Every structure is written in structure tokens, then in C-alpha cells.
């Protein structure tokens, strides 16, 4: 195979298999190329990934040495994307009762959701995440996007138990915004004890839902390493239950009378690598 063909094939492998360790001999055997040639190919691919803001190749030396693709979103690229997201969310037609915003169209766009997942994965890439957890239903596409870049499974917390999922653990929690008692359920088989968890949600007001997930995960002795929310509401009348989290956008004001939405960057640009 010519170098051009190898570069295409190897680049496709890395993009389809993030965070998968591959030793160099496997490449030399598959493409019938010298180790030096494969090493040069990896240099080219690594340079391209970094120039395009897609991440980098992490190499390890020694007898078990190899290479792994670490997906990331370059800081400048992330800022531009969130700028565009803020502009879209300022549309007054998105205002829903209670000061919430309509975001289902954004959560239904594969390219947009994928880029959101890449940004969160960039932030959490060094946290040794074992599983991404979300609550049904709107956080599901975001959770799968993040998990695809971290190359880990997704676990979905539900409001009601399902017969098809076997025995479950359930807790009652108080919603941060409505102050109502609600229930969360997670099947016992869905999460191994002691797992390192990343929680992903689409919207956070007071943080009651996220805090409920944290409480539920304690029943599995899970370690909550990271919390990511697409949008947070900046409401001075609500006491925020959750302190440590990463948000992409912040809804600072929803004026129902003037039909105006004020949106700014969340705290991701203060914490992203």
C-alpha cells in the first residue's frame, strides 16, 4: 500500500477508535511497511490532528509501546462553537413557560451534538472515566456523544423501573426548582461498583436532578469525577445545589415581558485545558 493509502486507512482507524491503544507491529504487519515508515505516518497524522484542532496521538515507548488517539477540541475552536450556540439560544421564540428554553432542535442535530460531546470529552479526557451517566430523556444524545469520544459505555437513569432491566436501586430526591419529591431508578446490573462516572445533562437550574443522580450513584459506591451540563440557568432566587460542574452556556436572563433572552459562555472556558 502506498503512503497516501496508509494515511487514509490509519486516520480512519484512529477516528473510529478513540482512546484505543494500538501497538506499532500491528500496523507494520497490516500494511506491510517498515517500522520507520509507520512512525513517519504517525507524525503526519498527529500534526494534522493538532492543526485541525481534533486532538493528538499519544505514544508510549518500550516493548508494549504503541499509539492512542486522544480526541480534543482546540480552545479557539470551542470558543467559536459556543459563540454560535449562544447566538442561536438568544432567539426569543425559544422561550417556554417557567423561563426554560426550547433546545430540542439543537439536541437533534448530529453535528452539533457531536461537537458538544467533543468539548466535554476534552475537559474530562484525563479523568479516567469508566462510564457516562445521564437521566432520561433529553440528556441521552449528549451522553452518547461524550461517551463516543471517551470510548466508554452510557448508563441511563430513569424515572420508573422497567421489568426488562431486572432488579433496580431507586431513591427519592427533591427537585431543586419545583421542590417536588421525585424518583430515580437505576438497574443493579447497569453499573459496576466503584466506577468512575461522568454525569451529563442538558439543562441545570438549581441542580436538583444532577444532585439526585449523585445521590443515586453513591448507592453503587461510584466516584463522580465530572459533571457536564449543556446550559445552566443563572437564577439569583434559586440556591444552586451543585457546585462543581462544567457548563457550555449560561442563561443569565429570560425577560418574558420584553421577550429577550440573555446568554453567555458557561464556565468551560475557565476550566478547559
Q: How confident is the model at residue 236 (pLDDT cuts 50, 70, 90)?
A: low
For the chain, give every domain's residue range.
Answer: 3-71, 75-271
Contact residues for 146 (Cβ-Cβ < 8 A; gap 6+): 116, 117, 120, 121, 124, 132, 198, 200, 228
pLDDT given at position 82? 97
Query: What pLDDT score does 177 carry?
Result: 61
Cα separation of 57 and 46, whole Å?
5
Q: What is the CATH number of domain 3-71?
A: 1.10.10.10
pLDDT at 273: 41
Question: 0.85 cut: is pTM over it?
Answer: yes
CATH 3.80.30.20 fits 75-271, yes or no: no
Instruction: Please tell me whether residue 145 adopts helix, strand or coil conformation.
Output: helix
- Of 233, 172, 230, give the one whose Cα is nearest residue 206: 233
Do 3-71 and 75-271 have matching folds?
no
Residue 160 neighbours by CB distance under 10 Å: 10
Q: Which of 65-74, 175-184, 229-238 has the highest mean pLDDT?
A: 65-74
Q: Is 89 a residue whose pLDDT tops 60?
A: yes
> Are residues 146 and 200 in contact, defined by beta-carbon separation less than 8 angstroms?
yes
If you average pLDDT over residues 128-150, what whole number do you get?
96
Closest CA to 200 of 252, 147, 269, 149: 147
> Tens digit of pLDDT for each residue in 10-22?
999 999 999 999 9
- CA 195 – CA 225 distance, rounded (Å): 10
Percent of the chain residues topping a pLDDT of 90: 76
- Reply yes or no on whether the pLDDT at 8 is more than 60: yes
Say if residues 212 and 182 touch (Cβ distance below 8 Å).
yes
Alpha helix segments (H runs only) across the chain: 3-16, 24-31, 35-51, 75-89, 104-107, 110-124, 140-150, 208-218, 268-271
- 236: exposed, middle or buried (C-beta count within 10 Å: 0-12, 13-18, 19+)? exposed
Amino acid at each position: 500500500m502506498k503512503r497516501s493509502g496508509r494515511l487514509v486507512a490509519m486516520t480512519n482507524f484512529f477516528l473510529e477508535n478513540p482512546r484505543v491503544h494500538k501497538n506499532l507491529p500491528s500496523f507494520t504487519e497490516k500494511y506491510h511497511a517498515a517500522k520507520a515508515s509507520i512512525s513517519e505516518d504517525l507524525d503526519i497524522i498527529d500534526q494534522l490532528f493538532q492543526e485541525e484542532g481534533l486532538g493528538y496521538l499519544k505514544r508510549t515507548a518500550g516493548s508494549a509501546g504503541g499509539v492512542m488517539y486522544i480526541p480534543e477540541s482546540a480552545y479557539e475552536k470551542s470558543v467559536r462553537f459556543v459563540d454560535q450556540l449562544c447566538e442561536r439560544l438568544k432567539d426569543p421564540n425559544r422561550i417556554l413557560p417557567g423561563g426554560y428554553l426550547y433546545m430540542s432542535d439543537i439536541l437533534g442535530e448530529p453535528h452539533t451534538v457531536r461537537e458538544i460531546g467533543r468539548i466535554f470529552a476534552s475537559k474530562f479526557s484525563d479523568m479516567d472515566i469508566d462510564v457516562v451517566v445521564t437521566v432520561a430523556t433529553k440528556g441521552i444524545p449528549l451522553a452518547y456523544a461524550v461517551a463516543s469520544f471517551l470510548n466508554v459505555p452510557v448508563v441511563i437513569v430513569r424515572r420508573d423501573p422497567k421489568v426488562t432491566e431486572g432488579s433496580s436501586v431507586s431513591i427519592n430526591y427533591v427537585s431543586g426548582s419545583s421542590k417536588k419529591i421525585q424518583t430515580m431508578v437505576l438497574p443493579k446490573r447497569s453499573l459496576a461498583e466503584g466506577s468512575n462516572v461522568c454525569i451529563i445533562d442538558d439543562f441545570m437550574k438549581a441542580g436538583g436532578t444532577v444532585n439526585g443522580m449523585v445521590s443515586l450513584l453513591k448507592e453503587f459506591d461510584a466516584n463522580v469525577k465530572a459533571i457536564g451540563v449543556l446550559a445552566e440557568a443563572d437564577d439569583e432566587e434559586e440556591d444552586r445545589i451543585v457546585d462543581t460542574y462544567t457548563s457550555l452556556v449560561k442563561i443569565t436572563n429570560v425577560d418574558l415581558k420584553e421577550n429577550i433572552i440573555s446568554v453567555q459562555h458557561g464556565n468551560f472556558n475557565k476550566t478547559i485545558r
